[in-house]
Amino acid sequence: MSDRSSRRLSRLYLEEGSAEGLEKAMQKQAMEEKKKKSKNDITPPPRVGYEDMTKMEDMTLEAVLQNLHDRYDQNQIYTYTASILVAINPFKRLPVYGPGWVKFYKGKRLGLAAPHIYAVAEASYTAMVDHKVNQSVLVSGESGAGKTECTKLILQFLSARTDRQSNIETMVLESVPVLEAFGNAKTGRNDNSSRFGKFIEIQFDNEYFITGSKILPYLLEKSRLISQNPGERNYHIFYQLTQGLDDDERAKYGLKKAMDYVILNQTGCITIDGVDEKEEMAQLKSALRLFEISDEVQENMFKIVASVLHLCNIEYKEEGEGSVPKDAASQECVNGAAAVLGLEPDKLLYAITHKKIKMRSEIIHKPLAPQFAKDQTQSFAKYLYSVLFEWMVNKLNACTHAEVYVNFIGVLDIFGFEMFELNSFEQFLINFANEKLQHFFNHHIFTLEQEEYEREGVDWTAIEFKDNQGCLDLIEKRRPVGILAVLDEECRFPKATDATFIEKLHQNFEKTSEYYSKPRLAKVKFIVNHYAGEVDYDVTGWRDKNKDELPEHLIELIRSSENKYIAILYTPEGDDKPAVVEEEKPGKKKKDTGKQTLGSQFRDQLTSLMTMLGTTEPYFIRCVKPNMQKVPDKFDRELIYNQLLYAGMLETIRIRRMGYPIRYPTEDFWKRFRCICPEVGPSADKATTTANLIKALGLDIPKQCQIGKTKVFLKQEVSNELEDRRNLALTSVILKMQTWWRMASNRAAFVEQSTNAFAIQVWWRMAHRRVRFVKEHKSSVKTQAWWRMVVAMRKRKALLEKKRKEEEERKRKEEEERKKMIEKLGKEEAEKRIKEEEDAKAAAAAKEAQDMRDQASGVQLGDEDEEAARKAEEEAKAAEEEEKKKKKKKKGADLKKDSRGSIMMKKGMELEIPINVDGRVTLGLGWTGGQWDLDASCLLFRYKQHRDDVYYYKPKSKDTAVTHKGGYAGIIRTNIPGEDAEQIEVNLPKVAAKTNAMLFVVTVFSPEGNFSSVRDAYVRLMDTATESEYCRYTLDKAGDETARIMCKLFRHGFSRWRLQAIGAPSEGRLYKHMISKVEPFLEDEPPKRRFKIRIHRGKLVDIKAMYKGEEKGGGLSTMVEVRYDTETKKSKLIKKSNNPQWKTAREIAGHGTQMEFNILNRVRFGHNVGGSASFMKAAHLGYVLYRAASLTVDLPPEKVEIKEEWFKLEQRDKARGRGQTSITGEIKLSIIER
């Protein structure tokens, strides 16, 4: 026990006051220490069996199965096959995850520690950092084998691996419960089965920290919305809504309990053991808020989910030629669906019970029979849910996707192989995807490896493996046709049926493909021999599922919703039609959109996925399901045997054991491992050099390695051993370097401290002697002053005595003279004369005193002229200052301003925006009157290419530079007179470089509304920080238009912006409608130009130094920054010179119409205090804006050729000047177009 613990126990003993108290104290401390024990303390598992099955002596499936069984019994569910991980689902929580295990596997190569999924994630991360190549982790296996959990564990490891806590890592993890709620369901094999495939890209920046993520979804199983197999459930979100909300919340959506809905109660499975729907719902809401999905938008999302429940509960009965709701309960469901969707019940009922048929000259509305009406209603429900799911995935990507990243690690979690009693189109596509993945695995593990051995001339015995290319050709081939091609052909024939489709399949494939067979009894089924076994498929309804179409009148109906969120969500981008239901004109041909079938879309998605995976370095995780009952500690040998057999595990082990999975180019091999044997030097021939190094390393050829024509091939265990030896060699070198560096650093610190100590000692001796000198000086001054006082007091005493005697003598004489005068003139005359003499003496004394005071204050007699001259000089200076102020104001004399100093703009007028320190401005839009709901939006463009948009339901741009402050994530919109109705904030320095124009539009959302009642509409620009208004544009009186294009904010140069007042009327209800309408106000993209810039020299005048009289000082440290379109180049830095000779040549390319040259000053901030170094930043001094006629869009391009021409500098940007100096002058440039 430590001294600290002993002291604490003693204190507790004194508090308790007895031996019993001491025992309690010890127990209390033990409990506290147990609680404080870090989660980082882990115990590595003991070795059981073979951790890497390539090292097994008995190469049979039975031996492999026994090894997996032995490890499974000890809760060791992970086993290697070289770099391939086999993971068996334990169906229980194991204490082998968390921060401690992340720390344990961090930095360890694959195979150094016990097998674990963290080790595979660490290997992919290390390979990405070392090789600078994208990585992928392919998680495969049957449904219920644990693929989703493996994916979550990989995401958790990568989020914790970088040791940096940020919002992005949190978002990556929190996206999982959102996707599971809307895309996962309970199946017969898995309680949380993913019913869609997903490829998750974890994106990293140049420092290899997570900077974003992206989710690519594949094939949501929409048929599950309508029906499920026995023992299964619908998607989790339905049960979270019906079971996880209280009565008041459910009442908002008109919902009841789950047992009251057909699509939830048909299998009798409502709950999942150990799952609390209320907790799941709370976790979902919390995750949605993290992705900036407000409570208002969440409520609208749940309304759409509730509408699916209402729609699927409607039952119909026949009435006349059509159908109507079967009873009052069905009519209530119609009303409930209409209420949550913002539709009129009558219009909704008419749309789902009628079919619109277009003839040549007329449009017929045909009533549907009850069964067809129910099918159309269910199709409508599936459409609503699938669009919501797609929007949600896009919303997650918008919050997490990084526009710029260096590499990514992709994790593929796709549906496992499925084989049920009834297998339909969904199972066919799922198994098709698994065939593709198995082929990729075979191609990567077997085909590519053996081809490379043959190409390099390596001694190798070929291994036979089961190739599934024939099965893929049967499914996806176009010529000759495959199953998907036949299905697409049948979908194009109006009279085709399920019977004609199955007949074509039998005709085409029964006798030509060994992977296809015809059942003996079933008439609508066929059998495909997959790599995992034979599966029979029922073709009933395949044609409708493959078409994946919804009648157009239902799409128009949902677009006319009064709920703005729903109307926008179901309006295609770029669709200019107003959001109202309109009758189509007969005879008008509909433009063919060329919509792909579901099978073709999925085939193309898989092809694209395989292409992308082919560009990465893949890692494979084979998930195995131990039993069908989903119970822990049960190992079904037959089930696992079949899974290993289908996966080709024995062939994989054999090729990994016999092969050489690690390979290096000969030059890279020598560079990487020469540190182990530094005595081996390079030679003229690379092969000889490599052979010498292998000999020095002591490797056995061919048992341990082989040398090919251009590469060196190594066994996995040999590579691991070499890596360990390399680490030891590098560690030794690094330790020596660290030792030397510590010596040098300590020596430098000692010299610095010694120098400082010497300086301090000198200063201290000086200060000590100075203090003593000052003290002695003060004492001597006091002594001298006291002595002078004593001497002066003695003199004063003598002088006073002398003066007293003289005064007595004077008075005696005056008294004698007065007596004589009285005797001679009389008493009165004598007193009068004496008084006159006394007055004359007093006046003379007063005059003398006044003259002395005037001389002391500097005012002498005769200075009146000098005082007047000084006043005249002050008046001249005041007049000169007034003239300067007038000249300064003359520049803005033509701009009309209101009482607040805001510039009043006219239509078409342009103003350059003064950028403040933080570069944030706010556009306020306001109006009075108007009984309709008006929306303000911002459309972002690069020339005429639409890049992004910001509106109420999407309040932030992708680069987060533009924010809709009235959006659901911002303030509540107001319509108070005198205040802005909408405000859009723009952070100008943060706007993406590719964005060069922003259009601000206002639309009337209500279908019957327009601008006729809107008065006093305006747009104003103000500084965000100070809220001071810079300019204002008041629009003309509006008419019957439904939209107004208010203004345009566009780049003028690279870092400067201008505002143009537009105020043009237009038509459109949503921001999507305005994308094509604002095109006349955008510039065409100029052709791409390439220039060679040569920056020669400059003549700079430092204004600040000139005013201080320091213009002959050391000069400025400057460089030139060239900006053109999205590119930036810099010259070299010239230190301390006002006549810099940069002499730098750079090439720059882009589509811009202006080129900007900025003079930057490298400024040192901070100073050396306590050993901390200062840091450097660039301050902006001045710029040159080049806009030649040959760079404009309107004129034909001409070659630019400017040779050594001087350009005058313009005023510097105060927002970027960092409070530093300003300059004038000119720079010499050459601009040559290549």
Catalytic residue IDs: 143-144, 148, 190, 193-194, 416, 418
The SS3 call for residue 898 is: coil
| Residue 1069 DSSP symbol | S
Taking each helix axis from N to C end, the angle separating 277-290 and 295-312, rounded to the nearest 10 degrees, works out to 130
Q: How far apart are CA 1072 and CA 1064, in angstroms?
A: 17
In 3-state terms, what secondary structure has residue 363?
strand
Helix orientation angle between 598-614 and 483-492, rounded to the nearest 10 degrees: 150
**H-helix or E-strand spanning residue 54:** none
- Report the alpha-carbon distance of residue 563 to residue 297 in Å, rounded: 11
Residue with tokens 């056995």: 700
Q: Which amino acid is at 1131?
A: S
CA distance 954 to 760: 64
Amino acid at residue number 115: P
Q: Do 212 and 400 contact (CB within 8 A), yes or no?
A: yes
Gap between the Cα atoms of 489 and 200, Å rounded: 34
Cβ atoms 1076, 1219 nearer than 8 A:
no
Cβ 185 vs Cβ 401: under 8 Å: no
Q: Pairing mode, if any, of strands 197-204 and 407-413?
A: antiparallel
How do 903-905 and 1029-1034 pair as beta strands? Answer: parallel
Q: Where are the beta strands (DSSP E) in 476-616?
A: 516-517, 525-530, 533-538
CA separation, residue 74 to residues 46, 67, 91, 537, 703 (Å): 9, 11, 14, 40, 34
Q: What is the DSSP letter of 21?
A: H
Q: For residues 656 and 52, what is the distance between their CA atoms, to the nearest angstrom?
A: 11
Calpha distance 524→506 (Å, rounded): 11
CB atoms within 10 A of CB 844: 10
Helices (H), 622-665: 637-646, 649-658
Which residue is listed with tokens 């300086």?
A: 759
> Which amino acid belongs to residue 559?
R
Q: What residue has token string 């990243």?
A: 405
Q: Which residues pair with 407 in a beta bridge?
A: 204
Does residue 711 sit in helix, strand or coil?
strand
Q: Which two tokens mark 897?
A: 């301003």
Cα dist from 372 to 317, 318, 320, whole Å: 11, 11, 15
Q: Which residues pair with 1045 in a beta bridge?
A: 1001, 1064
Among residues 148, 188, 155, 189, the alpha carbon closest in space to that of 173 is found at 155
Q: Are 1228 and 1205 in contact (CB under 8 A)?
A: yes
Q: Quick check: 1027 and 978 in contact, CB under 8 A?
A: no
Query: Tokens for 660?
Result: 């050489």
> Rounded to whole angstroms, how far apart are CA atoms 57 and 24?
57
CA distance 386 to 308: 11
Helix axes 295-312, 328-341, angle to 10 degrees: 150
